[in-house]
Amino acid sequence: MFKYLKYLPWIIFCILLSLVLAYVRIRYSVKVFIAQSSMLMNSEHQNTRQTNDRIDMFMNTGSSNLNNEIQILKSRPLLERVARDLHLQTAIYNKGNVKVNLLYPESPFTLQVTHLDDTARGFDFDITMLNDEQFILEKTGAKVVFGTPFKVNQNSCILFRDRNYTTRYLTKLKFNIRYYPLGVIGPSFLGNLGIVQPDIQATILNLSFKSENVELAKDLLNTLMQVYDSVTLEDKNRIANNTLQFINDRLDTLKKELGIAEGGVKDFQVENDVFNVESQSGKYFEAVTQYSKDIEEVVVKIHILDYLYKYVTDSQNSYKLVPTNLGIQEPVLTEYVTEYNKQILERDLNLKTTQPGNPLIKGIEASLDKMRSNMIVALENVRQSYEITKKNLEKQSQGYEDQLKSLPGKGMKLNNIQRKEKILQDLYSYLLQRALETSISSAATISNSKVLEPAIGYSTPISPDKPKIIMLYLIGGILIPVGFVAGRELLRDKVDNRMDVEKRTQAPILGEIGHSEDENSLVVTKNSRRFVAEQFRILRSNLKYMTMKKDNPALLVTSSFSGEGKSFVSLNIGAVMALSGKKTVIMEFDIRKPKILEGLGMKRKMGITNYIIGRAQFKDIATQVPGFENLFVISCGPIPPNPAELLLDSKLDDLMREVKENFDVVVMDTAPVGLVSDSVTLGKYADCTLYVIRMGHTYRKILRLVDDLYIAKKLPNISLVLNDVKLEGGYYSGYYGGYGYYGGYGYGIESGYFEKPAKKKAVPPHKQVMRWWNKWFS
């Protein structure tokens, strides 16, 4: 937890920023409202009276398929009719600084389109209202007077000002006016229109519509239900009117035929003086009468079939509705007629919005032609079956008529004439009754639906969802910085804290050295009370436990590679030993890249390489460090071409013997053990090895090399020194590190116990940029 406290300000900043963004999103998002309504769909016409049953049978009203009704409610012709009734082809928006608001149901303008360049495409334009008389057309910058024609692209239109609408409540007098063709505005409602069946057994439909204007949503739902009722009633009335026209045509024909038949009976009776033949026929005649009645019923049906056949085959009635049931109880024929009428209604509905030559219309007409052929075949088959029935009845009746041969021939002829007359009378009466029933049903026609609940609009918007947006942005404000920090920590390949070291090596940690802001490498001086100097004093105390059996310890200081601060540690550990009263010498064994004298600001002179090749004595190479009584330094001397071989020379043994005889503490600053073998070669002269690991600089994989050196004991008494430990979350990232462990609780650098470090010189901006670049991208 403490490790990540340094990122807490950034996390808090990201959370606050996410909340600000959520507020901006909520503040400037277009609010969407919802309106809801419900309607009852009559699944069946349930009538108790027999006459109503007969009417329903005649009108062919069946059960309502809710899926079909939903598709009808969502059909393009129905939605276009709603848009036309509500005048939604024109939409006027008031433009604010960020959002635009739809003005509905009232608006300050009325748009009249006098010429539309492309009927399938709409257009829009922006205006700035100057006063009640003029406005500026933004696209051209021209001033236009209300009520005068102007052009938008190739479209001609006129904008009228509604004087009853006041604009004083509008913040700005800038408007966006849009015009949509009916073919575009109708289908555009489908995305926001919802129609669901709440229960699979229910015949109720719940309707909802989402819009940025709640009044528009309510009006659209109410108008949609009204238009649906109107369309249903229109379809039913069209069927009834077409049936009445068919019956009236047949009645006119029957009236003429009946008049001729009645005149024939009268003439025959007058000429032959025959008036009551029935009383002479007895029981045989009763049987003949019964068969005659049956034959009459069959003949009536045959006549009806003939009328239907003539009506269907007439080219003038190709796309007219066919009467659905005139007493012919044949399921196949009834099914054909019902499906044919549905196709006729669908064709008429599509012709309202589609040209006759449209492929859709052609397809429906082809289907109608095929169905008409099937219906004709069915009529012929039914008529043939009735003819067969008629012949059978006539054959049986003929047996009884033979019994009446004794009756006068005149009586028989009169009977035939009267029978024909009776058939015509029955047919005429039947059609009259059907005409009356159809008229009654047409007058009493009601819709299949009923509005259960008119549209109700809710003042609370459903979008934007404030709690959801705030929660999402808040989660994002937390996850993004936390994810970035976690990813950054996961992808780090360098040692960052004490825990990284302890997890990867068994070598003990001798101490921690904090980050030094001083320009001088030597931070430990006689009167220095700086924080880093105190840490070196703690390191000196810890060294006593590593070299407690050695009177004159020799310390070898090394690291994995260059830049980890081993020369800095060597110099200051030597200084802190010298301040304890021990005569200390620092030997510059990093022959390839010496830094000790450079850190002390001393001039280079003869040193180790001069001694080994025999060109200098021991007294010539040891130099006292200015300001320190007991601190000496032996430089490396000239850099040889073969440093590794030079350190194998026997003269080095003589040098180390003389050094230990003349000094109490020997500090050997050696080359990085991860790059060259010099440190391993010099290990035989050392009593303790200080292995420097620099936080944020040493690679974690290098710690495996340190662990191998410790386990294999290639260097004596390896102890780790963590260098450049930075303050994280108010404390240093280790367990020891002196008083710095309590840096965040009044015991650290700012506690007053330590001298404040010297301020570094100001770094030019271009160098700061280069440091930043090298830190993140090198």
Amino acid 239: pLDDT: 75
Instruction: Tell whether 172 and 97 lie within a shared domain.
Output: yes
- 155, 179, 203 - which closes a domain: 179
| Amino acid letter, residue 231 | V
480 and 520 together in one domain: no
CA–CA dist 753, 579 (Å, integer): 20
Containing structural domain, residue 648: 498-757
Instruction: Please report the DSSP string for 242-283 in residue order.
Output: HHHHHHHHHHHHHHHHHHHHHHHHHHHHHHHT----GGGTHH
Give CA–CA dist 654/589, Å, rounded: 15
Whether residue 736 is contained in a domain is answered as yes
Collapse the DSSP code of 657 into the 3-class scheme (helix H, G, I; strand E, B; otherwise coil) and give the result. Answer: helix
Which residues have CB under 8 Å from 222's CB, separation 6+? Answer: 37, 454, 455
For 197, residues 6+ apart whose C-beta sits below 8 A from its C-beta are 66, 70, 204, 205, 206
**Residue 719 placed within a domain:** yes
Co-location of 544 and 414 in the same domain: no
Residues 6+ apart with CB under 8 A from 574: 584, 585, 586, 631, 633, 665, 667
Claim to verify: residue 12 and residue 136 sit in the same structural domain = no
CA 632 – CA 696 distance, rounded (Å):
32
Type of residue found at 402:
D
In a domain, 617, yes or no: yes
Taken in order 733, 736, 737, 742, the sign of the CA dihedral is positive
Residues 414 and 308 placed together within one structural domain of the fold: yes
Q: Are residues 487 and 507 in the same domain?
A: no
**Domains identified in the chain, total number:** 4
- Show Cβ contacts of residue 557 under 8 Å, excluding neighbours closer than 6 positions: 566, 569, 570, 573, 667, 668, 669, 670, 689, 690, 692
Whether 369 and 479 map to the same domain: the answer is: no
| Residue 334 token pair | 């009834």
User: Among 164, 179, 194, where does a domain finish?
Assistant: 179
Q: What is the DSSP letter of 405?
A: T
pLDDT given at position 751: 45
Reported as half-sphere exposure (CB side, CA atoms, 13 A), residue 707 has a value of 12
Q: What is the pLDDT of residue 454?
A: 93
pLDDT of residue 178: 94
Mark whether 651 and 680 lie in a shared domain. yes
pLDDT for 325: 61
CB contact set of 5 (below 8 Å; sequence gap of 6+) = 728, 729, 730
189 inside domain: no
Q: Distance between alpha carbon 656 and the CA centroid of its chain, in Å?
A: 77
As a 3-state breakdown, the chain gives helix, strand, coil percent values, each rounded to 5, of: 50, 15, 30
Distance, CA of 546 to CA of 664 (rounded, Å): 16
- Whether residues 521 and 590 share a domain: the answer is yes
If asked whether residues 340 and 295 sit together in one domain, one would say yes
What whole-number distance in Å separates Cα of residue 556 and Cα of residue 49? Answer: 117
The CATH number that applies at residue 601 is 3.40.50.300
Is 775 domain-assigned?
no
**Does residue 325 lie in a domain region?**
yes
Does 415 reside within a domain?
yes
Query: Are 325 and 432 found together in one domain?
Result: yes
Per-residue pLDDT at 752: 46
Of 133, 155, 179, which marks where a domain is finished? 179
Give the number of residues written for the chain. 778
Whether residue 483 is found in the same domain as residue 379:
no
190 within a domain of the structure (yes/no): no
Averages of pLDDT over runs of 10 residues in the chain (778 residues) are 74 92 88 92 49 42 67 90 92 88 91 90 93 92 93 92 88 92 86 89 90 93 91 76 77 78 68 55 67 82 82 80 72 79 82 79 82 83 85 77 57 70 80 76 69 89 89 92 82 82 89 83 81 88 81 90 89 91 91 85 86 88 89 89 83 90 92 84 90 89 89 90 73 39 41 50 61 58
Report how far residue 291's alpha carbon sits from residue 297's, in angstroms, rounded to the nearest whole number.
10
Using alpha carbons, list the distances in angstroms from residue 433 to 46, 74, 308, 330.
Answer: 22, 39, 18, 21
